[in-house]
Amino acid sequence: MADLLYEVRDGAARLTLNREAQRNAFSLDMIDLFQEYLTRAEADADVRAICITGAGDKAFCSGADLKSLIQDPTKASEILYTLAPVLHQSILEIRRMRKPVIAAINGVAAGAGLSVALACDFRVMAKSAVLRQAYTSWGLCIDGGGTFMLPRLVGLARALEIAAFDPPITSEMALQWGLVTKVVEDGQALDAALAMARELAERSMHSFGLVKQLLTDSFTTPFEVQLERERIGVSTCGGHPDGLEGMMAFAFKRKPSFNKDGSSGS
């Protein structure tokens, strides 16, 4: 069976890391395919949301499969230097696509697995699951955008604590610290993520995509530039079928019906 599964059902693309015996760790081939499937989901007008999860109930993703990647210790630096941008392209795809991406954290998320989860727009975590940054415990540097997302989600002081001590982060801690959107009972993470995807699919994909882009860019955009981008964004929405439908629904006090133009967020 394939190490990475992809299917589209009821408007949601499901990406399942399917190496249960290896705790769904990424191989180099998997990371290439992961980016390919994300690009496919972004381009598919039938896809309104993307859910990422791991096979089984033990792990979301335990990171990169270092045993298979580093056979020759003398080439470790070269291999990791080559691997990082492949993973980073997937992270960029998640952050840049104008569709919601939801991580269904069914088990441990560590290393690159945590970085992927943090890059997603929303995270649904099983009650017994655990988060670990893991890198520094093995003498490595965090990658996969983890050093960007962590301080933005939990603040610099907490991010430094996580980086320095690598504590196992329980679902209760993760929710309290703002690392996850919600916590559900074990075995229900994917179902809860898909339910979230269905709810999001009823909202305007065009509006979501623009706001996601603005929020993502806001950390590096001067305030005056951000205001101008908001001006362009709101006026663009006002001329889009979703924006017109929303304003009509508001004026006549009815529920709006979005995404009728088939654009799926474009």
Q: Is-catalytic flag, 143? A: yes
Q: Is-catalytic flag, 32? A: no
Query: Do 191 and 145 form a contact (C-beta atoms < 8 A)?
Result: no
Alpha-carbon 44 to chain mean position: 18
Alpha-carbon 248 to chain mean position: 33
Query: Do 108 and 62 form a contact (C-beta atoms < 8 A)?
Result: yes
What distance in Å separates the CA atoms of residue 125 and residue 212, rounded to the nearest whole number? 22
- The single residue of 143, 206, 240, 242 carrying the catalytic annotation is 143
What distance in Å separates the CA atoms of residue 110 and residue 134, rounded to the nearest whole number? 6
Strand partners, 264: none
Query: Do 54 and 24 form a contact (C-beta atoms < 8 A)?
Result: yes
- The single residue of 57, 88, 166, 261 carrying the catalytic annotation is 88
What distance in Å separates the CA atoms of residue 156 and residue 22, rounded to the nearest whole number? 32
Query: Do 61 and 104 form a contact (C-beta atoms < 8 A)?
Result: no
Which residues participate in catalysis according to the annotation? 88, 143
